[in-house]
A and B are shown apart, each in its own frame.
Chain A
Amino acid sequence: MIEVEHLSKTYGSTTALQDVSFAAESGEILGFLGPNGAGKTTTMRILAGYLPASQGTARVAGYDVHRDAMAVRQRIGYLPESPPLYPGMTVANFLTFVAQIKGVPAGDRQQRVNSSIERCGLGDKRQVLIRKLSKGYKQRVGIAQAIIHDPPVIILDEPTVGLDPRQINEVRQLIKGLAGSHTIILSTHILPEVSMTCDRIAIINRGQIVATDTPVNLTARLAGEGIYEVDLQGNGEQARALLSPLAQVREVALLALEGLPPGHHRLRVRGDNSATLGPEIAATLVQGGLALHQLRRQQASLEDVFLNLTTVDAGEAAPPEVAEGLSVAADDLTHDP
């Protein structure tokens, strides 16, 4: 439904996008994830036919966004970064106007407006001036105008930005409800958003796609490594000396933590992702005469993948080794169980 091939965009001497390629199948939700300034909005605008690309092609529903701009515009609903609203219009009037310019036939217009209003939970705001709506409601009107003509492809640029947690949840449910009959591409810099709503994720950083996969697979990529935290009583340095030589272990770090009882230490062990690593650590420590209090396996979250992929130095821009540089990401993160 959406095919993007070798897309590049330069503004003067700055490169916003560099050789970006990805695709979205019909009916799927593709999450476009990246830190601010990574090129998400630029990509969305190119897909919507608002910006021309410097190089490469983008096709929506089989039409080139630049050459067949009109055909593409009929088939997309687009919510820009800031919702395009006329503050002096009422919600119903505004949506009727959008239905008109999107070419919804006069006979269907009322029904389309009503169904958009209903879907976006705007029922009691029909006759309210947009200027008087709260930010969350404005965002919903923005989504309502994107789906008013029932387009096969919906492009949402940061659909939940600036909303409170309850509104975010509602918008996510709304987006999920649209999937299946629509192909949706949404951009965000918020991780839970993609893991909760999207079928597939493209991670973009500094204008380049660094990974495209399902949330599960992306998490699995990181899980290629086993991380254990060990709490023990006794000599920390000795424990490290014992564990380091093990074949499966790659790195042992003695964590300097406040608040541990005297004589207690915590180590972080990184090693191969194998079922035998945990028991081996335990056995080694016990045989070394140390009192083992806790041994915890850590789950890699999508946040690890994201940080791992996007905090790599710009110099080595090729898809980075997932295993490398993890400690940067993992050290200060709280992990989801």
Chain B
Amino acid sequence: MTPDRPMTYKTILAIFRRELQSYLTSPLSYLIAGIFWLLGGFFLVAILLGPQGLIAQVAQADQAAQMGMPAPQTLDVAYEFIKAYVGLLGSLSLFILPVLSMGLYAEERKQGTLELLATSPLANWAVALGKLLAVVSFYLGLVLPLMLGESLALGTASPPIRPGVFGLAHLGLLLLAASVLALGMFISSLTESTVLAAIMTFALILLLWLIDTMAQALPGLPGQAVGHLSLLKHFTDFTEGVFNSAGLVLFLSFIVLGVYLTAQSIETLRFQRS
């Protein structure tokens, strides 16, 4: 009997399921989830109810209005909340994403299971895509409960949040995470050490920050040019409810680049193995 070549989407699905399962059975994932939810919950409360929080600002504005002074400007609490909170979730995520992506390939290399994948009738890019989808899904699983918290907080907001703003902000968050995870996956494919992969991915994130800072600091055209390449700047646009197609293209390019580089790196590995 000659087995058929598996359909590519089935391959991707199989890899996706196995990878997701490995996240769900790993104690490390639960530790990360715990920390993420704890900090996410803390900041949710802090941004709304903290001494400098949005509610306090609104109260001040109301007081000023009652005393007959003109309010500085009307505060769209729901909008300001989403902008601040999703922006913060983005920063928080940058710390956990390297830990999520570090094992994607490094673990396979260490376990020797890469030899199984490499000798099965699978395309390298399909394996990479399945893995990326799995880790992005896991990340989505981390964000969803916090989104529930946001919805509860926003339920009583007046004026209510526009669904577009809410959706765009979270789409931006997801795209940022997927881009970083794609590059993290590539880095993970370069080494057998998960720790090294995490450190290198974090270094890459520092570089992203540096690019963002440069974009803000550099005057004129160079600043603009660097700004176009800054993932974080485009992410900020999304959190402000501004849809920009250049940002979408940039995020998708980074994701495709990550998958492509990973596939190439696995292919190259065959030639340098000793």
Contacts and interface: CB of A to CB of B under 8 A. Distances in A.
A155 B212 CA distance: 52
B131 to A, nearest CB: 13
A51 B5 CA distance: 21
A145 B17 CA distance: 18
B14 interface: yes
B3 A84 contact: no
B12 to A, nearest CB: 10
B15 A101 contact: yes
A20 B101 CA distance: 41
Nearest to A74: B121
B22 interface: yes
Interface stretch (A75-83, A267-275, A294-302): A75-83
Contacts of B26: 88
Contact of A97 (B14, B25, B114): B14
Given A80-B112, A151-B3, A49 B119 contact: yes
A103 B115 contact: no
Contacts, number: 93
A84 B116 CA distance: 6
B3 A150 contact: yes
B3 A86 contact: no
B4 A105 contact: yes
A70 interface: yes
B3 A102 contact: yes
A85 B6 contact: no
Nearest to A104: B3
Given A84-B113, A100-B10, A103-B6, A48 B122 contact: no
Given A50-B270, A86-B111, A98 B2 contact: no
B14 A84 contact: no
A101 B271 contact: no
B59 to A, nearest CB: 51
- How big is chain A's contact interface, by range? 35 or more
Given A73-B119, A101-B117, A51 B273 contact: yes
A84 B111 contact: yes
Contacts of A35: none
Interface in B41-72: none
A152 B6 contact: no
B25 A50 contact: no
Interface string B1-37: 1111110001101110110011001100000000000
A149 interface: yes
Interface string A84-98: 111111000100011
B2 A75 contact: yes
B245 interface: no
Interface in B93-124: 111-122
B73 interface: no
B111 A85 contact: yes
B158 interface: no
B115 A100 contact: no
Given A51-B270, A84-B111, A103 B4 contact: yes
B25 A88 contact: yes
20 contacts: A48-B119, A50-B119, A50-B273, A51-B273, A52-B270, A74-B3, A80-B115, A84-B111, A84-B113, A84-B116, A86-B111, A89-B18, A100-B11, A101-B14, A101-B15, A101-B117, A102-B120, A103-B5, A150-B1, A151-B3
Please provide the 8 A-B residue pairs with the shortest distance between their CB atoms, ordered closest to farther.
A103-B6, A84-B116, A100-B14, A73-B121, A84-B113, A11-B274, A80-B115, A48-B119
Interface of B: 1-6, 10-11, 13-15, 17-18, 21-22, 25-26, 111-122, 270-271, 273-274
Given A76-B119, A84-B111, A84-B115, 5 more contacts: A74-B3, A100-B6, A101-B122, A105-B4, A149-B3
